[in-house]
Amino acid sequence: MDDGPSVRSRAISNALRLGVRPFLHYLPGHATSIRTARSTVDAASLLLRHSPHVRVESLNDPLPDDEDGRPIRGEWIVPRAPSEKHTAEEHAAEKREARKRAAEEHAPGAVLYLHGGGYVVCSPRTHRPITSRLALDTGLPVLAPRYRLAPEHPFPAPLEDAVAAYRWLLARGVPASGIVLAGDSAGGHLSAALTGELCRQGLPSPAGLMLFSPWVDLTCELSMGAQSRARDPYISAASARRIARLVVGPTGFEDPRLALLTCAWTEMPPVLIQVGGAEVLRTEAEAFADALRRAGAHCDLQIWKGQMHVFQILNRVLPEASAAMREAAHFVRTVTGRPVKRTKAGKRTKAA
């Protein structure tokens, strides 16, 4: 489709460009400002409702045979059965049984979703609009781990937590052939890094990899070069570079697990990348898709005309975001071998 962004999309983008982007661009890259940003983002997340047709269970479960004894924390999002009621009494019963169900359910598959936020902010709660929609549209449970954040816990701490979450799914009977790794922004980087790390550790490969607006290049060389051409409503390449220095910590950018564009992407599962046509990270997504294809991987790159960074989180508001989530669900169902419920196709037209 060749039509441009919807009226709602343009209005939200303009509001972000005028109100949020200046704040993020000049936000200092130190621990105090990060804590302030976390509180602000957590408060704002209360305004984004998730689907009432899923149940969200808190997770604090140990990983069997884990040497450091750190439990898997986060959320287990499960689509409700059509007959499930929503009375207060049943809701209380659900909360009492949440941990038991999460530990005992052997799902035929699952989505492991790693939230974005520059590795420094956000949480499973802030990304419920995406995780709940994935659970509802795919019929699969979604595991959204609460991985450790920088600057308190620089890389590779988030990657270690992501590996532990994947092992948690395997230990509870979810086959690797039914697991799709997914993430947005920094969570997209983490999901891709996790795919490579699973190969290095000899763990079974997932069924697919799905990335929304991935932050591929933490050195920010590509985004700095694209800054003058992009019309990103709120992401600044300069602010991303400041944050990246906190993420990598004292070891800098030498860790090869950070460098997604130079990894040897062999035996990759199918990949779906969705990126907004207006965002500064579009160049990174294109470069990553090229790298995967050169390595022989199947990669579907969708560039959504005029859309902003992680526009999918507004899927209850934006028609483009809702269509993108349907495309995402179609990908998950396809790679996991589940029945496909095909609906109206998304806009795949590249932005000018």
Note down the domain range covering 232. Answer: 7-336
Residue with tokens 């602010």: 239
Tell me the β-bridge partners of 61: 72
Indicate whether 212 belongs to any domain: yes
Indicate whether 350 belongs to any domain: no
Indicate whether 80 belongs to any domain: yes
Asked if 233 and 19 touch (Cβ cutoff 8 Å), the reply is no
Asked if 181 and 206 touch (Cβ cutoff 8 Å), the reply is yes
Q: Examine the residue annotation and report whether 330 is marked as an active-site residue of this protein.
A: no
Token pair recorded at residue 12: 């939200």
- Distance (Å, whole) CA 133 – CA 116: 16
Q: How confident is the model over 82-141, as pLDDT tens digits?
A: 655 555 555 555 554 544 454 445 578 999 999 999 999 999 999 999 999 999 999 999
pLDDT at site 14: 55
Indicate whether 220 belongs to any domain: yes
The three-point CA angle 334-126-90 to 5° equals 80
Give the CA radius of gyration of the chain. Answer: 19
Q: Which of 279, 284, 286, 327 is catalytic?
A: 279
Q: Which of 9, 123, 132, 185 is catalytic?
A: 185
Residue 146: CATH number of its domain: 3.40.50.1820
- Which residues, other chains included, contact 175 with Cβ-Cβ below 8 Å and sequence gap of 6+? 108, 109
Q: Examine the residue annotation and report whether 33 is marked as an active-site residue of this protein.
A: no
In single-letter form, the type of residue at position 71 comes to P
- Distance (Å, whole) CA 63 – CA 172: 10
Indicate whether 345 belongs to any domain: no
pLDDT at site 227: 79
Q: What's the structural domain count of the chain?
A: 1
pLDDT at site 41: 81
Indicate whether 352 belongs to any domain: no
pLDDT at site 344: 46
Asked if 200 and 156 touch (Cβ cutoff 8 Å), the reply is no
Indicate whether 218 belongs to any domain: yes
Q: Examine the residue annotation and report whether 97 is marked as an active-site residue of this protein.
A: no
- Which residues of the chain carry a pLDDT beneath 50? 1-2, 17-19, 21-23, 96, 98-100, 102-104, 343-352
Indicate whether 303 belongs to any domain: yes
Q: Which of 127, 189, 309, 330 is catalytic?
A: 309
CA atoms within 13 A on the CB side of 313: 23
pLDDT at site 349: 38
- Distance (Å, whole) CA 272 – CA 181: 10
